[in-house]
């Protein structure tokens, strides 16, 4: 699936890009609100929605804070703080790594896996509901997801700052 070139003035293209930024920002906020609602519904304390998504993104990997930033598992400069906080809360376990033991790597605990499983269930449920609401076949939903990932890759390719 590709977006056809519709031409248009630079002003129209600027408006379209502004709308894209707004939509992506609103979607991210809505996803975090859905996660917060699910955490509240399940009476889970001690973790915020962005941290729950961080656990989901870590999955079965073992990561350091620099890997979390580099691999876009966590977006922001406070990866080390959030990983440490999640370890203190029992959602992650950490160990010293590196030649001098100066770095720490993190992986999910059983409690962290429970949060990840909760996010997976939420993801699946919301995906099915969105498909139903919009009349999309699962293949169409996957095609939209693929296009959004391609858009993200195209935008990311323009980033000059490297972590």
At residue 127, what are phi and psi to the nearest 5 degrees? -60, -45
| Beta carbons of 50 and 74 less than 8 angstroms apart | no
Residue 62 pLDDT > 80, yes or no?
yes
CATH top-level class for 10-156? mainly alpha
Average pLDDT of the chain to the nearest whole number: 86
E-only strand ranges, 13-162 = 63-64, 92-97, 103-108
Least confident of 38-52, 113-127, 143-157: 143-157
Q: Give the number of other CB atoms < 10 A from CB of residue 28.
A: 13
Q: What residues does each domain of the chain span?
A: 10-156
**Facing residues of 113 across strands?**
none
Distances, alpha carbon 151 to alpha carbons 65, 70, 124, 144, 146, in Å: 26, 19, 22, 10, 9
Tokens representing 20?
A: 């894209």
69-121: pLDDT as tens digits: 888 888 877 888 999 999 999 999 999 887 776 788 999 999 999 999 999 99
Least confident of 4-8, 30-34, 67-71, 86-90: 4-8
Tokens representing 146?
A: 């693929």
| Cα–Cα distance, 80 to 59 (Å, whole number) | 17
Residue 1 pLDDT > 50, yes or no?
no
Distances, alpha carbon 129 to alpha carbons 30, 100, 123, 133, in Å: 15, 50, 10, 6
Helix axes 110-134, 10-41, angle to 10 degrees: 130
Q: What is the pTM of this model?
A: 0.81
């Amino acid at each position: 699936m590709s977006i056809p070139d519709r031409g248009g003035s630079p002003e129209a293209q600027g408006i379209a890009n502004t709308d894209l930024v707004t939509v992506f920002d609103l979607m991210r906020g809505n996803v975090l609100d859905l996660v917060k609602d699910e955490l509240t519904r399940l009476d889970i304390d001690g973790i915020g929605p962005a941290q729950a998504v961080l656990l989901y993104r870590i999955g079965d990997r073992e990561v350091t804070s620099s890997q979390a930033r580099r691999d876009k598992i966590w977006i922001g400069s406070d990866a080390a703080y959030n990983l440490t906080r999640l370890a203190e809360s029992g959602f992650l376990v950490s160990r010293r790594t590196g030649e001098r033991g100066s770095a720490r790597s993190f992986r999910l605990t059983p409690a962290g896996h429970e949060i990840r499983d909760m996010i997976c269930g939420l993801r699946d449920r919301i995906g099915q509901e969105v498909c139903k609401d919009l009349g999309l076949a699962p293949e169409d939903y996957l095609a939209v997801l693929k296009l959004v990932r391609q858009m993200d890759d195209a935008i990311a390719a323009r980033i000059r700052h490297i972590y």
